[in-house]
Amino acid sequence: MSEHILVTRSSMPDFEEYCEEIRKLWDSHWLTNMGVEHETLQKLLEDYLGCSHVVLYTNGHLALENVIAAMRFPKGGEVITTPFTFASTTHAIVRNGLTPIFCDVNPEDYTIDADKIESLITDKTVAIVPVHVYGSMCDVERIGEIGKKYGLKVIYDAAHAFAVKYKGVSSANFGDASMFSFHATKVFNTIEGGAVCFPNDALVETLNDMKNFGIRGPESCVFVGGNAKMNEFQAAMGICNLRHLDREIKKRAAVTERYFARLDGVPGLRLRKPQKDVESNHAYFPVVFDGFGATRNEVFDALEEHGITARKYFYPLTSSFECYADLPTAGTEKTPVAAFLADRVLTLPMYADLSLENVDRICDIVLACGRR
């Protein structure tokens, strides 16, 4: 029986390496509250990403929710974003008392269409929250110009873009802040986890207050904060995984190359092409099925029948979620490109240890669907 192939599989260090990293936790009994592993990972990430500040979180969602809150936007303000994203992006905006205004995406790299942002700006607009998608980056130059022109904060949901670079500059260094997810399914993981990267010195204290109850000392609590601290075991996993990250990305690149060799140019299959000046992390491999001879759903089912799990990612659009039915911007009619993609996109299995033989097996099944 062939092995079951999941859409992704977490990269992990050798068991002995992780055990050695956490050995000091048994000696110190310091398991959380910004211990030595937490502080070490923070400094390593600042160096790896080349950014001024990194604040670590227990997950990416709370990192995004907190950094939006840290900007002190007025309640009811509007935030221009994309519905072609994971639930977390839209939830983080709404949970801050803000209204998401959904902008369509472009058909080339599936990121927010920078040419459509300005038409959505009103006197209520306070920020832009673009989303880097699948390891592709948004048009950071154009979005940066728009933000400056209208005095808007730009906060990137960079959950898919860790280790991605544009013109040699890390994705962590664009906009007013960038949020990364270190969830187990991401290119770089800390089991669960996340971070906010930013250049503004004043945000350091604010974000640390938000994630640790506003406590600054044993007898000092200056802010009504919550609890979103990354623990020492998460940080230790991150320290280990960071040592091997560049090698893992190279292995992912080989998987991407094989997929392209087998599927590029096939009628009815649209592959996301490499972006100019962008060094990708090969986080995902999306395929858009349009006139293929089999629908996205039929290919999804065929893969499942063979023990291969793909993902309809992102489907449905967040603008069509039941919980947002009462939003004035709900529905998909205002974002036709995003709606088109959501109905047709399938992310095929992608992880560093996916063998090229299994990539071929996946491609054989996909291609057979089109010949039925």
Q: Does residue 107 sit within a domain?
A: yes
Burial class (CB in 10 A: 0-12, 13-18, 19+), 204: middle
pLDDT of residue 327: 86
Are 196 and 258 in a shared domain?
Answer: no
Instruction: Please give the torsion angle defined by the CA atoms of residues 48, 53, 58 and 64, in that order, rounded to the nearest 10 degrees.
Output: -110
Q: How far apart are CA 332 and CA 334, in angstroms?
A: 6
Do 232 and 260 belong together in one domain?
A: no
Q: Which residues are CB-contacts of 335 (< 8 A; sequence separation ≥ 6)?
A: 82, 83, 84, 102, 103, 104, 105, 317, 319
Same domain, 218 and 316: no
Are 72 and 169 in a shared domain? yes
Query: For 97-108, what is the mean pLDDT?
Result: 97
Residue of 341, 315, 310, 273 whose CA lies nearest to 136: 273
φ/ψ bin of 324: left (φ > 0), alpha (ψ from -120 to 50), beta (otherwise): alpha
For the beta sheet containing 53-57, the strands, ordered from the edge strand earlier in sequence to the opposite edge, are 53-57, 194-198, 177-181, 153-157, 125-129, 78-81, 99-102
pLDDT at 193 over 60: yes
> Could you tell me if residue 25 is inside a domain?
yes
pLDDT number for residue 371: 81
352 vs 254: CA distance, rounded Å: 9
Please, what is the average pLDDT of the chain?
97
DSSP letter for each residue of 146-169: HHHHHT-EEEEE-TT-TT-EETTE
208 & 250 share domain: no
CATH number at residue 289: 3.90.1150.10
How many other CB atoms are there within 10 angstroms of residue 108's CB atom?
Answer: 11
Q: Are residues 146 and 28 part of one domain?
A: yes
Query: Contact, 136 vs 256, CB < 8 A?
Result: no
Return the pLDDT at 281: 98
Residues 236-264: pLDDT tens digits? 999 999 999 999 999 999 999 999 999 99
Angstrom distance (rounded) from CA 133 to CA 304: 25
Is residue 74 domain-resident?
yes
Q: pLDDT, tens digit, for every residue of 265-274?
A: 999 999 999 9
Question: At 52, which CATH number?
Answer: 3.40.640.10
Q: Is residue 234 part of a domain?
A: yes
Average pLDDT over every residue of 216-241: 96
The answer on 322 and 184 residing in a single domain is no
In a domain, 33, yes or no: yes
Domain match, 249 and 234 both: no
- Given 223, 239, 255, the domain boundary residue is 239
Let me know if residue 359 belongs to a domain: yes
Dump pLDDT digits (tens) for 279-308. 999 999 999 999 999 999 999 999 999 999
Q: Examine the domain organization and report whether 234 and 287 are in the same domain.
A: no
Q: Which two tokens stand for residue 6?
A: 């999941």
What are the pLDDT digits (tens) for 326-368? 888 777 889 999 999 999 999 999 999 999 999 999 999 999 9
The structural domain count of the chain equals 2
pLDDT reading at 220 higher than 90 = yes
pLDDT at residue 160 is higher than 70: yes
Boundary residue ending a domain (205, 221, 239): 239
Give 3's pLDDT tier (boundaries 50, 70, 90): confident
Domain hosting residue 253, numbered range? 245-370
Closest residue by Cα to residue 83 from 339, 280, 297? 339
pLDDT of residue 329: 77
pTM check: above 0.75: yes
- Shared domain for 164 and 309, answered yes or no, is no
**Average pLDDT estimate for 32-54:** 97
Domain boundary among the residues 180, 213, 239 is at 239
User: Does residue 168 belong to any structural domain of this protein?
Assistant: yes
User: Are 148 and 254 within one domain?
Assistant: no
- On whether residue 95 sits in a domain, the answer given is yes
Token pair, residue 109, equals 């790299």
In this structure, the answer to whether residues 144 and 57 fall within a common structural domain is: yes
Burial label, 74 (beta-carbon count in 10 A; 0-12, 13-18, 19+): exposed
